[in-house]
Structure 1
Amino acid sequence: MRSQLKKRSLWKGLAYALLLGLVGAGIVHIVILLLIPSFSERNAWGRLADVADLETMVRIDTSAAGPPLISGTDPAFLSAACRFDLSDGILHVQAPGHVPFWSASVYDRGGSNLFSLTDRSGPAGLLDVVVLTPEQMIDVRADLPQEFSQSVFLELPMSEGIIVVRAFAPDASWRPALEDFFRRSSCKLV
């Protein structure tokens, strides 16, 4: 008799724990589903849209209004980003001057890295990049504008994205040169 009561009590306890676990998992899933919209609105595209228009280079490592737009950036690098939409033209990104190292990465609107290049990619180490779709590339090849003669072409199968440019400051003495590099940089549709 006692062993039957023990078994019954054990099964009741196990069923109670299982039921409690299922209810808890259901609550967690509902909370996650309700939080998804708030997290998806705070992606890089959304944050940049809050502070600047399309084709505007924005510093993401620092902000006069407060903390950096993107947290966790390496303090040895200065960074800027530019949102673009190739529906109305091709994107031309330039920055005059030489810095110890720069890199540029193109991301789609969802944040997937589509292409990256460094100062070793272009002639004389200057930042001069043209981002365009395959259809736009056909038109450009037919009649290459003089302003693109030294440019690196990035042909990508999407129209909206973000280009992020980073420059390395080996020590504090390079900061003014890097600040000037970003201040004179441009991100424009042509």
Structure 2
Amino acid sequence: MWARLFYALVLGLVGAGIVHVVILFMLPAYSVRDVWTRLSTTAQAYETVVLSPTVAEGRVPTPRNPFLRAAACRFDLSEGLLHIRATGRVPFWSMAIYDDHGLNVLSISDRAAAGEDLDVVVASPAQMLALRREVPAAFAQSVFVESQVEQGVALVRLFVPDETWSGVAGAFLENMRCEPL
């Protein structure tokens, strides 16, 4: 009986060791396929990329949920504020900020916006202090977001309840602008 238990423990440890070695060998292959790297090879900073199979041609991930459409842009707050804008009436939009390691650091939705349009300004803490002293008139309807992340990805997702909304959602994402200020 003790021999069987010892045999099972040794077999389990050897199996766990093999799995860990395989994972270590696979890590470099996956580290160059992260979203940040794939977006940086597809588009420049502040360039909006619609995440769909026809537009991105498999170079960037696409939403697997058939009711979601998405677009993303990379940014660098050391170059200035990030202003994300899009107009149109969609049922629901949400925006998330991810750091360059893929960690979600912020998420908001259209329920936080002053109107139906997407109008968000992302700033570092120092930029936010300067912005609070004098808010430009162009940002009257903007949602202000403070981020500790200097480089990251802004991801905007839209809910598309059925095919009748596809044209509206496509237009919303096509006119989305990520601009440094």
Aligned length: 181
TM-score (norm 1): 0.84
Once residues 39 and 59 of structure 1 are traced to their aligned partners in structure 2, the CA distance between those partners, rounded to angstroms, is 23
Once residues 142 and 65 of structure 1 are traced to their aligned partners in structure 2, the CA distance between those partners, rounded to angstroms, is 41
Alignment pair present for 1:44 and 2:35: yes
Question: What SS is found at the alignment partner of 2:28?
Answer: helix
Answer whether contact 1:61 1:73 (CA < 8 A) is retained.
Answer: no
Alignment pair present for 1:154 and 2:137: no
Kindly state the Cα deviation for residue 185 of structure 1 after the two structures are TM-superposed. Answer: 0.9
Alignment pair present for 1:76 and 2:67: yes
Kindly state the Cα deviation for residue 104 of structure 1 after the two structures are TM-superposed. Answer: 0.9
Structure 2 residue corresponding to 1:53, chosen from 39, 44, 54: 44
Q: What do residues 52-73 of structure 1 show as CA deviations (whole Å, max 9, x unaligned)? A: 1111111113333534732552
Describe how 1:61-140 pairs up with structure 2 within 5 A: 61-64=52-55, 66-67=57-58, 69-140=60-131
Once residues 120 and 68 of structure 2 are traced to their aligned partners in structure 1, the CA distance between those partners, rounded to angstroms, is 20
- Out of 166-175 and 120-129, give the one that drifted further: 166-175
One-letter code aligned to 1:55: Y
TM-score (norm 2): 0.87
Q: What do residues 55-106 of structure 1 show as CA deviations (whole Å, max 9, x unaligned)? A: 1111113333534732552111211011111111010000012212111111
Structure 1: stretches of 5+ with no match in the other structure? 1-6
Answer whether contact 2:63 2:70 (CA < 8 A) is retained.
Answer: no
RMSD: 2.2
Q: Which residue of 2 aligns with 1:173?
A: 164
Kindly state the Cα deviation for residue 47 of structure 1 after the two structures are TM-superposed. Answer: 1.7
Once residues 68 and 62 of structure 2 are traced to their aligned partners in structure 1, the CA distance between those partners, rounded to angstroms, is 13
One-letter code aligned to 1:91: L
Once residues 56 and 27 of structure 2 are traced to their aligned partners in structure 1, the CA distance between those partners, rounded to angstroms, is 27
One-letter code aligned to 2:19: V
Once residues 159 and 127 of structure 2 are traced to their aligned partners in structure 1, the CA distance between those partners, rounded to angstroms, is 32
- Shift of the 122–34 alpha-carbon distance from structure 1 to 2, 3 Å rule, reads same
Answer whether contact 1:61 1:68 (CA < 8 A) is retained.
Answer: no
- Calculate percent identity across the aligned residue pairs: 43
